[in-house]
Amino acid sequence: MNTLSYKTVSAKKETVERSWFVVDAEDLTVGRLSSKIATTLMGKHKPSFTSHVDTGDYVIVINAEKVKFTGNKWADKEYQRYSGYPGGQVRTAAIEVLAKKPTAILERSVRGMLPKTKLGDAMYRKLFVYEGPEHPHAAQQPQPFKL
């Protein structure tokens, strides 16, 4: 008879330790960067990952206006939204979105990769995206994000 007993330990919200990471998005591909950020926000990079607890870390993205797409996506990729009225569909090219609100491309990409639940909303609130190289989170002492 084996006297060893193994028990799976689930993370609890009180025991989760969060870190802060800063990512320089200059010349990085949107999809590849977004998937790494989404994994970090969910906490899947940690051995203590538990699916029903928000174990993720905070992520700060700087230089969001300098991201890139592969191929001809700047002209071909379209973002859709609806007003709720008949004929209320609006399509916007990626290059137009970049001109109006440069942070929206990364924010929308990461949001689409997170769970569509209250827990996913909590994960998304740990993402901070900025256009330029400056951010107001120096007090949190963020570490560089390794891709």
pTM across the whole model: 0.91
Dihedrals phi, psi of 32, to nearest 5 degrees: -70, -40
Which of the pair, 3 or 93, is modelled with greater confidence?
93
Q: What is the pLDDT of residues 17-64, one digit of tens each?
A: 999 999 999 999 999 999 999 999 999 999 999 999 999 999 999 999
d(CA 8, CA 46): 15
pLDDT score of 2: 61
Does the pLDDT value for residue 120 go beyond 80?
yes
The SS3 assignment for 58 reads strand
3-class SS at 2? coil
Phi, psi of 128 (to 5 degrees): -130, 120
Q: What CATH architecture does domain 20-69+100-144 belong to?
A: Alpha-Beta Complex (3.90)
Q: What average pLDDT score do residues 97-113 get?
A: 97
- The mean pLDDT of 97-126, rounded to a whole number, is 97
Note the pLDDT of residue 1: 54
What the block records as the tokens of 130 is 């900025």
Share of the chain above pLDDT 70, in %: 97
Q: Among residues 141, 137, 6, which one has the least CA distance to residue 61? A: 137
Q: Quick one: tokens of 134?
A: 């400056």
Could you give the CA distance from residue 31 to residue 144 in angstroms, rounded to a whole number?
19
Q: Average pLDDT in the 138-147 region?
A: 93
